Structures are given as C-alpha cells and as structure tokens.
Amino acid sequence: MKDKILRRKWLLILVTPILLLGCAQFNEISIKGIKDVEFKGLNKKVIMLSFDVEIDNPNTRKISVVEIDFKAWLNGRELGTFKVVEPIRLVPCSKQTYSVPAEIELRTIADAFRIVSSGSLEGLMESIEVEGKVKGRSFPIRKTIKIPRQAIIEMSSSL
C-alpha cells in the first residue's frame, strides 16, 4: 500500500513540471529579411546556397528551428524542393544574424541552367516562390507552421 502511494507521489512530481511547461506561451519571432546570398556549389541536381537571416527572438527560451521543407517555383514553374540543411538555434532574448546553409534539389538538370541564367542570386531569391512547413521546438513544446505559397523574400510576414 505504501509502495503504491509513493509511486503516485513520484509520478505527480515528474508529470507536474511537464504539464506546466506545456502551457507556456511563446512570443512570435520576427524575420527581418534575407541577405548576402552565396552560391556554394552544384552537385548533380542539388544547388547548395548559404544566406544570412536576421532573426529577433524575444522569448526567454532557446528555440531550435529543426526543419524547413518547401516546394519551390521559379517564374511559375515548379523548380524542386528547398531545404535548410542544419537546424537553426535561436539565442534567447536576442536579435542576431544567422548564416543558414540550404539546398535546392532540382527536378531536372535543365533547371540549373535556368537559375544560372536568371541573374544575381539576390534577384533569384526575390523570384523564387515557396510553400511548405517550418518546424520548431523548445523542450517540451513543438510547433509546425504552414507557409502558403509566396515569394521567399516575403516569408517573414508569415512567421
């Protein structure tokens, strides 16, 4: 009997903080824009890029953006998938610029020529449209944000 009561107390002690943390509210992060787009290379049908993003995280907890997965279009034609390669760890209560490595997996190799002939990479980022999801987490909370189809430069207004 005492064993059962002791187990219930320990269970209550372990579960209560998780329940309280699960009710925590997060302030919205804001993205100020994408700049300094850098071409890292082309490997078969994958274009490797790096760009800087200024992000304001007003929360008192570290937030990790663990997955960014989009379908991409260039001038109305499907281009392939746009993915961020590494998770982004947002420092609490900060406004920082993060270097983000990304890949665009193209449907065909001919799309690589379309991208190269489109002009500068900053201009390319303005003409690429994306649609997909962004997954973030801060223990024990996870959140998925669905992004409607829009220019990648305008994406900051959706987050």
Task: Using alpha carbons, list the distances in angstroms from residue 144 to 35, 66, 105, 132, 137.
Answer: 25, 10, 22, 10, 9
The pTM of this model reads: 0.69
What H or E segment, with its residue span, contains residue 113?
A: helix 110-116
Mean pLDDT score, 100-113? 84
C-beta of residue 91 within 8 angstroms of C-beta of residue 107: no
Please check whether residue 135 is in contact with residue 144, taking contact to mean a CB–CB distance below 8 angstroms: yes
The predicted structure's pLDDT at residue 156: 55
pLDDT of the residue at 152: 74
Arithmetic mean of pLDDT over the chain: 77
More confident residue, 128 or 101: 101
The average pLDDT across 18-38 equals 66
Distance CA 107, CA 110 (A): 9
Contacts (Cβ under 8 Å, ≥6 apart) of 125: 34, 37, 51, 152, 153
User: What's the rounded mean pLDDT across residues 31-37?
Assistant: 76
Which residues have CB under 8 Å from 134's CB, separation 6+? 65, 67, 68, 144, 145, 147, 159
Domains of the chain: residue spans and CATH: 25-157 (2.60.40.10)
Q: Which pLDDT tens digit goes with each residue over 109-146?
A: 877 777 777 666 666 767 788 899 988 888 777 888 88
For the chain, the first-to-last Cα distance in angstroms comes to: 52
| Contacts of 95 by beta carbon, 8 Å cutoff, 6+ apart | 54, 55, 56, 57
> Residue 31 above 70 pLDDT?
yes
pLDDT attached to residue 127: 77
Residue 74 confidence (pLDDT): 81
The per-residue pLDDT for 29 is 76
Burial per residue of 82-91, b for 16 or more beta-carbon CB atoms within 10 angstroms, e otherwise: bbbeeebebe
pLDDT higher for 154 or 91? 91
Tens digits of residue pLDDT in 76-92: 888 889 898 899 898 88
In angstroms, the Cα distances linking 73 to 42, 61, 121, 129 are 18, 34, 15, 5
State residue 137's pLDDT score.
84
